Amino acid sequence: MEAQELIQRYQAGETLFTGIKLPGIDLGGADLIGIILTEADLRGANLLFAYLNRANLCQANLVGANLSGASLNQSDLSGADLRNANFHGALLQGGILRDSDVTLATLQDANLIGADLRGADLSGATLTGACLRGANMRQEKKSYYTNLQAAILARADLQGANMKGVDLSRADLSGANLREANLRDADLRKTDLTNANLRGALLTDANLSGARLNGANLVNANLMRAQLPQAEMISANCQGAIMTHINLSRANLSGANLSLTRMNSADMSRANLTGANFKEAELIEAFLARANLMNANFINANLVRADLMSANMAGANFQGAMMPDGQVSR
C-alpha cells in the first residue's frame, strides 16, 4: 500500500489497519490521529512530524523509524519494537510504552510526562534533555523491571518520577532533575549523578556502589540502608538527609555538607571526609574507623558510641559535640 492510499482510506473513516506491512513508507506530517496500527510493519518508516495522538501501535515494528517531532500523546506503543528509532523532540505525554524495546533509540528532548514505561528496555537509549516528570517506571515483579542501563539522561527532567527498582547502572544522569523521585531499590552502580538534583528523593536500599555524586544536591533525601561504597561525593550537599545504616566505606566525601543529617549506624570506615561539615549531625554508633576527618566540622554533633579507631582527626573541630564516651567536648 502506498502512503496516499492509506491517507485516503483514513480520511474516508477507516481506522483499523492491524498487521499492515508498510516498511519504509513516507508519512511525514500525516494526520493519523486515533489510527489503529497494531502489529503493523513500519520498519524504517518516515513519520516525521506526523500526528499520531491516541494511535494504537501495540506490537508494531518501528525499528529505525523516524518519529522526530511526531505527536504521540496518549498513544499506545506497548510491546512495540522501537530499536534505533528516532523520537527526537517527539511528544509522548501520557503515552504507553510498557514492555516496549527502545534500546539505542533517540529520545532527546522528547516529552514523556506521565508516560508508562514499566518493563520497557531503554538500555543505551539517548534521553538527553527529555522530560519524564511523573513517568512510571516502577518495578512490578522481582525479575520484571525497566532497563535504563547505560542510558544517557544528562539534564533530563525526572522530577517525581517513579523509578522504584529500575536498572540505571552506568547511566549518565549528570545534571538531571530527580527531585522527589522514587529510586527505592534502584540499581545505580557506577552511575554518573554529577551535579544532579536529588533533593527530597527516595533512595532507600538503593545500590550506588562506585557512583559519582560530586556536587549533587541531596538535601532532605532519604538514603536509609543505601549502598555507596567507593562512591564519589565531593562537595555534595546532603543537609538534613536521612542516612541511617548507610554504607559509605572508602567513599570520597571531601568538602561535603552533612550538617543536620541522621547518620546513626552509618559505615564510613576508611572514607575521605576531609573538610566535611557534620555540624549538628546525628552520628550515634557510626563506624568511622580509619576515616580521614582532617579539618572536618563536628560542632554540636552527636557521636555517642561512634567508633573513631585510628581515624585521622587532625584539625577537626569537635566543639560542643557529644563524644563517643558521652562527654561534651569543650
DSSP structure class, residue 76: B
Give yes or no for residue 140 having a pLDDT over 80. Answer: no
Question: Can you tell me which residue has the cell 561525593?
Answer: 233
Report the pLDDT averaged over residues 271-279.
98
CA dist 203 to 165, 180, 221, Å? 10, 10, 7
Q: What pLDDT sits at residue 24? A: 96
Q: 157 pairs with which residues across the strands? A: 131, 177
Count the residues in the chain: 330
Report the pLDDT averaged over residues 298-307.
98
Spatial distance between the Cα atoms of 218 and 236, rounded to a whole number of angstroms: 7
Spatial distance between the Cα atoms of 5 and 224, rounded to a whole number of angstroms: 59
Question: Can you tell me which residue has the cell 514492555?
Answer: 99
Mean pLDDT of the chain: 96
Q: What pLDDT sits at residue 142? A: 65
Q: Which of 62-71, 93-102, 142-151 shows the lowest mean pLDDT across its residues?
A: 142-151
pLDDT, tens digit (0-9, with 9 covering 90-100), for 68-123: 999 999 999 999 999 999 999 999 999 999 999 999 999 999 999 999 999 999 99
CA dist 93 to 70, 77, 219, Å? 12, 12, 29
Taking alpha carbons only, the member of 290, 302, 295 closest to residue 317 is 295
Residue 272's contacts (CB-CB under 8 Å, 6 or more residues apart) are 251, 252, 253, 254, 291, 292
Q: Under a CB-based contact definition with an 8 Å cutoff, are residues 290 and 309 in contact?
A: yes
Residue 24, all three cell numbers? 519504509
Q: Under a CB-based contact definition with an 8 Å cutoff, are residues 278 and 296 in contact?
A: yes
The answer to whether the pTM exceeds 0.85 is: yes
Q: How confident is the model at residue 29 (pLDDT cuts 50, 70, 90)?
A: very high
Report the pLDDT averaged over residues 45-54.
98
Q: What pLDDT sits at residue 329? A: 87
DSSP structure class, residue 5: H
Q: What pLDDT sits at residue 330? A: 79
Residue 222, all three cell numbers? 532519604
Q: What pLDDT sits at residue 143? A: 62
**HSE-CB of 329 using CA atoms within 13 angstroms:** 18
User: Among residues of the chain, what percentage have pLDDT more than 90?
Assistant: 97
Q: Under a CB-based contact definition with an 8 Å cutoff, are residues 276 and 254 in contact?
A: yes
Spatial distance between the Cα atoms of 229 and 36, rounded to a whole number of angstroms: 50
Spatial distance between the Cα atoms of 211 and 200, rounded to a whole number of angstroms: 19
pLDDT, tens digit (0-9, with 9 covering 90-100), for 217-272: 999 999 999 999 999 999 999 999 999 999 999 999 999 999 999 999 999 999 99
How would DSSP label each residue in 113-156? Answer: TT-B-TT-B-TT-B-TT-B-TT-B----BTTB--B-TT-B-TT-
Question: Can you tell me which residue has the cell 492510499?
Answer: 5
pLDDT, tens digit (0-9, with 9 covering 90-100), for 152-196: 999 999 999 999 999 999 999 999 999 999 999 999 999 999 999
Q: Under a CB-based contact definition with an 8 Å cutoff, are residues 246 and 269 in contact?
A: no
Q: Under a CB-based contact definition with an 8 Å cutoff, are residues 139 and 119 in contact?
A: no
Q: What pLDDT sits at residue 80? A: 98
